[in-house]
A and B are shown apart, each in its own frame.
Chain A
């Protein structure tokens, strides 16, 4: 254990700080989950030029082209979070690593640069009405006709489908193969004729995801990543990247500080919340969990720097991290009492309604990207080696 940084990394941190001091106010605010605005694109461009976004993506594909230095990437994320400045991105965090790993040279040339710059946005077409946790049972089919696949079927919960330019999509191309071996991974524009998008309003009141219907959608066969029937394995490369991205402890710490600040401001009967032992104890319980996850994250970081397997420390991050965010929002709502139920643009609203919004959104994140129950199955079976449930001979 030595939590001091080397001189090289100390001075790198100072560079990042100096950059943020000079440029932090240029950062756009609000979600990045939207069609990118001119300000979004300008900010991303500036960050790439300085190596604070798309840092390790090769220059030829629109990145900064630095050698991998996990600690520097961490310092960047850490400083942006501390200053509350919106960080950049490396293109779609699920698609770009997949293309880098498994795409053809042509696909890399065509897609990575505009994705990294933010001009081209993507959605993930995996889940279907009949295929959620059991994703491999998906049934949207693609049949070869000449040089094209012809796609028919339906996706659901497709986040960002209503503004995305492109979709990376799983379809069944080999109906007679075993279920994991009959899937292919395709890339195509959302403007392709035959695609219909019906936004679904989620419980926050926003439409962040959609149903997507395909009727005789024609996609050139060259738009496949990996070979026919190998889509499941290509997709798993993507899911691996997705899991790394959820349950970020930096975000948890930021929220904790907001709650602490709120408890120092808000009063009941003239007494600050922080001065009330019952509320304080609940905050302290959360703080211990947040710190544990933060240090767990640092442990994973050090393992990856050394090329060691972080083991159990990594398996639990999605499960614990998403739950923790949800619990923080729950606490913020509770300590606000009746004020906690205010929403939208109500008078007396606190933090623009963030806490109720996040309480609901976070529940979606506990479900999306592999539900909590599926996480527990994976920890039990893959990490602890407990046996899988026996498959029933027949399912009613």
Chain B
């Protein structure tokens, strides 16, 4: 029984965090998003070189064959750096979908390209979680038709995996004729989501997901887990910034951290956030090793981190006073990343309800 990270996992996370600190400073992120860009391509490539793009992909298909826990550690680091690079869709959800439901041929064709960074994948599953505005995708003889909203990493993707209204997942070339996409502007400009309109687009179904929703649900579980881990990293960053600021900013001739009101806000953030780390570790471990608990834990991780993330995001902002809400300081990038993670793939109430379903309560 060992509830802790391995030496290798510590090293993996440290090396990615170090890479992001040097290669992905806030200034570069600002420049990118101010110019309307979607992805820091150089960072994306360096990350791919380090093996992260193929984190879940088996070694014989060009990846490094690690687990969801390793992937969650990467997501945490990316959240901590508000890194504008595709990871959750391309390196986690798409590989899970392909591994769960792809044909051998599909796996052999696409997984090595994902691992090397040669192909970026986006995923469109939102309508299968909660369909609004009567959207959704139907598959028929003439191909895929309809609209998929909030396709994650959908603008920079070369390939998309899109779920139809039966839960079957399809491989779609983002350049295919009949496909059009437009960027949806969200609060979080460090990630992109697209609206993808399909008009008789030819696609290749992932055969294992035909009349079987389980691969889709596993793909969503993995995505939720990563969003939760991303929030953990972003919230941890905001907490650390707050503590540092509380030790340095003076008012009334004292550092503000000596005021109990401020000190207690810091302690409350720690008290809420620290147990989340263990929840993520367990949920990720369950995703790989305890199938019976995997869905319930992924849902709890997603919903709980959404709640705690929101609390930390607003509290940390308050501790910074007026500076907290300025663009100058840039804390809002983390605030918004946490807000984005909260809504995507199901907001808390909806996801908790799935945790109830996974336990057979409903």
Chain A, range 281-297, C-beta contacts under 8 Å to B: 281, 284-285, 287-289, 291-293, 295-296
**6 A-B contact pairs sorted by A residue (CB < 8 Å):** A288-B279, A288-B307, A295-B275, A299-B4, A373-B260, A383-B270
Contact with B along A369-388 (1 / 0, CB 8 A): 00001011101110111111
Of B131-139, B212-220, B333-341, B351-359, which binds chain A? B351-359
Q: Are B362 and A280 in contact (CB under 8 A)?
A: yes
By a CB distance below 8 angstroms, the chain B residues around A346 are none
Contact A2–B243 (Cβ < 8 Å):
no
Tell whether A302 is near chain B: CB-to-CB under 8 Å.
Answer: yes
A308, A384, A387: the one contacting B270 at CB < 8 Å is A384
Is A38 an interface position by the 8 A CB rule?
A: no
Q: Does A30 contact B (CB under 8 A)?
A: no
Q: CA of A376 to CA of B267 in the docked complex: distance in angstroms?
A: 5
Residues of the B chain whose Cβ atoms lie less than 8 Å from the Cβ of A389: 258-260
CB of A3 within 8 A of chain B? Answer: yes
B223 CB to nearest A CB, Å: 18
Are B263 and A284 within 8 A (Cβ)?
no
Interface size class of A (residues with CB under 8 A): 35 or more
Which residues of chain B (240-268) have a CB below 8 Å from chain A? 243, 246-247, 254-255, 257-260, 262-264, 266-268
Complex Cα gap A315–B272 (Å):
12
Q: Contacts A4-B1, A298-B3 known; A316 to B260 CB distance under 8 Å? A: no
Chain A 1-34, CB-CB to B under 8 Å as 1, else 0, gives 1111110010000000000000000000000000
CB–CB B282/A287 < 8 A = no
Q: Mark B269-282, 1 if CB is under 8 A from A, else 0.
A: 01100111111011
B residues less than 8 Å from A296 (CB atoms): 274-275, 278
Shortest CB distance B161–A (Å) = 28
Q: Which residues of A contact B289 (CB under 8 A)?
A: 3
Q: Does A337 contact B (CB under 8 A)?
A: no
Does any Cβ of A come within 8 Å of B57's Cβ?
A: no
Q: Are B275 and A277 in contact (CB under 8 A)?
A: no
Task: Determine the chain A residues whose CB is within 8 A of the CB of B279 once the complex forms.
Answer: 288, 291-292, 295
Q: What CA separation (Å) do A291 and B305 show in the bound complex?
A: 13
Return A287 CB to nearest CB of chain B, in Å. 7
Q: Does A250 contact B (CB under 8 A)?
A: no
Q: From A6, A289, A316, A380, name the one whose CB has the most chain B CB atoms within 10 angstroms.
A: A380
Find chain B residues with CB under 8 A from A316 CB: 270-271, 274-275
A347-373 at interface with B (beta carbon < 8 Å): 373
Chain B residues, CB < 8 A from A284: 300, 303, 352-353, 355-356
15 further interface pairs, Cβ-Cβ under 8 Å (given A285-B303, A377-B264): A1-B285, A2-B1, A3-B285, A71-B1, A285-B307, A288-B279, A288-B352, A298-B3, A313-B274, A376-B260, A379-B267, A383-B270, A385-B243, A385-B247, A386-B246
Is A217 part of the contact surface with B, judged by Cβ < 8 Å?
no
B residues near A, CB below 8 A?
1-6, 69, 243, 246-247, 254-255, 257-260, 262-264, 266-268, 270-271, 274-279, 281-282, 285, 289-290, 297, 300, 303-304, 307, 349, 352-353, 355-356, 361-362
Nearest chain A CB to B25's CB is how many angstroms away?
Answer: 26
Contact B257 A292 (CB under 8 A): no
Bound complex: CA A319 to CA B266 (Å): 14
Asked if A274 is at the interface (CB within 8 A of a chain B CB), the reply is: yes
Cα distance, A241 to B5, chains bound together (Å) = 27
For B258, give the chain A residue with the smallest CB separation: A387
A275 within 8 A of B: yes
Residues of B within 8 A of A288 (CB): 279, 300, 303-304, 307, 352, 355
Give the docked Cα–Cα distance between A275 and B362 (Å): 7
Cβ contacts under 8 Å, B362 to chain A: 274-275, 280
By a CB distance below 8 angstroms, the chain A residues around B266 are 379-380, 384, 386
Nearest chain A CB to B46's CB is how many angstroms away? 27
Give the top 7 A-B pairs by smallest Cβ distance, nearest first. A295-B278, A292-B275, A380-B263, A288-B304, A379-B267, A386-B257, A376-B267
A307 within 8 A of B: no
Chain A CB within 10 A, most for which of B4, B246, B297, B356:
B4
Q: Which residues of B contact A373 (CB under 8 A)?
A: 260, 264
Q: Is the CB of A298 within 8 A of B278?
A: yes
A281 close to B361 (CB less than 8 A) = no
Q: Provided the pairs A320-B271, A386-B263 are in contact, do residues A291 and B300 lie with their beta carbons within 8 angstroms?
A: yes
> Would you call A303 an interface residue if the criterion is a C-beta within 8 Å of the partner chain's C-beta atoms?
yes
The contact of B1 among A9, A281, A313, A380, by CB within 8 Å, is A9
Contact status A280-B264, CB under 8 Å: no
A271 at the interface (CB under 8 A from B): no
- Partner among A295, A379, A388 whose Cβ is within 8 Å of the Cβ of B271: A379
Known contacts A281-B353, A312-B274, A316-B270: A384-B69 contact under CB 8 Å = no
- Is the Cβ of B1 less than 8 Å from the Cβ of A280? no
Q: What's the nearest-Cβ distance from chain A to residue B248, in Å? A: 11
Q: Are A299 and B1 in contact (CB under 8 A)?
A: no
- Give the residue name and chain of the B residue nearest to A71 (CB): B1
Q: Is the CB of A291 within 8 A of B282?
A: yes
Chain B hits for A388, CB < 8 A: 258
B356 / chain A contacts, CB cutoff of 8 Å: 280, 284
Contact A379 B270 (CB under 8 A): yes
With A and B bound together, what is the CA distance between A71 and B4 in angstroms? Answer: 14
Task: Tell me which residues across on chain B come within 8 A of A302, comparing CB atoms.
Answer: 1-4
Task: Flag if B4 contacts A376 (CB, 8 Å).
Answer: no
With a cutoff of 8 Å between Cβ atoms, the chain B residues found around residue A392 in the complex are: none
Known: A3-B289, A291-B300. A303 touches B275 (CB 8 A): no
Q: Would A390 and B275 be within 8 Å (CB), given that A1-B69, A280-B356, A284-B352 are in contact?
A: no
Which residues of B lie under 8 Å from residue A46 when comparing CB positions? Answer: none
